[in-house]
Structure 1
């Protein structure tokens, strides 16, 4: 079945129907959290690419916070999230250093 599509429930048992409904609800919440994190990361990368340390600095804390929340909610694996945070921080520090030199 393609990702994002509803799965058909073959059995009509009450517990099976409830499980399917819970699964759909969890998938929606996870998708929303994942989208929020990716959007913030995209905005931060755009600010870093533009070479704007103030905009990147304003976005850094909310992005790191969203990534930490995604770890806590089980949306992102901890190692993956830490890798994202590390790479974004290194990129931000590079932009900040370049701006300080100029």
Structure 2
């Protein structure tokens, strides 16, 4: 258990950051799932629209520090490849 005021504050801050980052990750995953669903349905127009919506979300995740730059790049590359194959 934390004893010093600084450690107690750090616990409060960590809990808040974890909550915010969890919400961000969830939001990004939702956008990615929409792209996946559009790809599975075989609808190229929906997939392209969903991909365009997902790209800035992934970039925002990188800027906010919830995703590594290479992870987001890899995800976008793989999704783009699958969408263009439709």
- What is the TM-score when the length of structure 1 is the normalising length? 0.80
- Aligned counterpart, 2:26: 35
The counterpart of 1:57, out of the listed 48, 63, 66, is: 48
- Aligned counterpart, 2:70: 79
Considering only CA atoms, is the larger Rg found in Structure 1 or Structure 2? 1
- The question of 1:44 aligning with 2:35 is answered yes
- What is the TM-score when the length of structure 2 is the normalising length? 0.95
Q: Which has the higher helix share?
A: 2
- Aligned counterpart, 1:98: none
Provide, for residues 21-65 of structure 1, a one-character-per-residue CA deviation record: whole Å limited to 9, x for no partner: 100011011101111111110110110111101111211111011
- The question of 1:90 aligning with 2:81 is answered yes
Deviation at 1:19, TM superposition (A): 0.5
Runs of 4+ in 1 over 4 A off after TM superposition: none
Gaps of 5+ in 2: none
* Cα RMSD after superposing both structures: 0.8
Q: Distance in 2 between matches of 1:11 and 1:53?
A: 54
Gaps of 5+ in 1: 1-9, 96-102
Residue-pair matches, total: 86
Q: Distance in 2 between matches of 1:25 and 1:56?
A: 34
